[in-house]
Amino acid sequence: MARKAKTKGIRNPLATRAKLLRATIELVSEKGAAALSLKEAANRANVSRGVAYLHFEDREQLLEEAKTWISEGLQASLTLFGEDTPWHDRTFRTTKIVLTHPEASKLLIDAAMAGTDLDRGHPLYKLVLNLLKELKTSGRLRADIDIEIMTYIMFGSIAGTIILGAQRKGDDIDSLAERYATEWDNMIERGFFAPGFRLGREDSKPKRQPRKTSKKPVRK
């Protein structure tokens, strides 16, 4: 469990903690998690190391806070709008957050792949799961959809967004997020395949021809 910050005597401790967290996000985005240190975060935030240690125990706690920050940002992007807001707008916003902060997003995905984050008790998991349940109840999703599997498919899209950003480094983020959101809409509404194509149906599979066997002559 993280140590409680000893902020007594610090002028505006909440603002100082926020500065340290912003500095952490910036450093992780610029240099990656491996290069982060509490000393460097303190320098970037323009506070002393002693003050930094009153807020955070070590770099691991800083990284944990960075994961929480990106998770809360994704949650906010899904709940910020009203019920009638198009999903395109939500997808655009979440995609833009990940493209803007790929290293912080990678912390969340790496922890999830290690089995230490995004479990079924995680607030982001619960939020996405409940949103999908509401859509299913309203009749906007297929009645036979597997909600749990679909939740993890959506989490997997975070990794895809990180890869897209890495391969398109330097491209306009708004443009990339718009392309991503548009194709996500198309995939959800129309699927992958052209009309008429049926995946996995028996009548679409070529029928196997029985093997011809040569009859051996009967010896008399």
Give the tens place of pLDDT for each residue, 147-182. 999 999 999 999 999 999 999 999 999 999 999 999
- In what helix (H) or strand (E) does residue 136 lie, and over which residues does it extend? helix 123-137
Structure tokens at 75: 């949650």
In a domain, 49, yes or no: yes
In a domain, 40, yes or no: yes
| Structural domain for 182, as ranges | 60-189
* Max intra-chain CA distance, the chain: 110
Q: Is residue 156 a contact partner of residue 100, using CB atoms and an 8 Å limit?
A: no
Claim to verify: residue 85 and residue 143 sit in the same structural domain: yes
Taking the C-alpha atoms of residue 131 and residue 61, their distance in angstroms, rounded to an integer, is 30
Q: Among the listed ranges 11-15, 124-128, 133-137, 148-152, which one has the minimum average pLDDT value?
A: 11-15
Ranges of beta strands (E only) in 72-201 are none
Residue in this structure with the two tokens 């975060």, named with its chain if needed = 41
Q: Is the pLDDT reported for residue 65 higher than 80?
A: yes
In a domain, 194, yes or no: no
Claim to verify: residue 47 and residue 66 sit in the same structural domain: no
Claim to verify: residue 79 and residue 40 sit in the same structural domain: no
**Quick count: other Cβ atoms within 10 Å of Cβ 56?**
23
Claim to verify: residue 65 and residue 18 sit in the same structural domain: no
Q: Identify which has the larger pLDDT, 202 or 85.
A: 85
Q: Is the pLDDT reported for residue 75 higher than 70?
A: yes
Claim to verify: residue 71 and residue 176 sit in the same structural domain: yes
> In this predicted model, what pLDDT tens digit does every residue of 110-126 receive, in sequence order?
889 989 888 989 999 99
Q: Is the pLDDT reported for residue 6 higher than 70?
A: no
What is the percent of the chain with per-residue pLDDT over 70, rounded to a whole number? 84
Claim to verify: residue 87 and residue 42 sit in the same structural domain: no
Taking the C-alpha atoms of residue 212 and residue 141, their distance in angstroms, rounded to an integer, is 48
Claim to verify: residue 109 and residue 39 sit in the same structural domain: no
Claim to verify: residue 64 and residue 134 sit in the same structural domain: yes
Taking the C-alpha atoms of residue 64 and residue 207, their distance in angstroms, rounded to an integer, is 55
Residue in this structure with the two tokens 């955070």, named with its chain if needed = 56
Mean pLDDT of the chain: 84
pTM of the model: 0.74
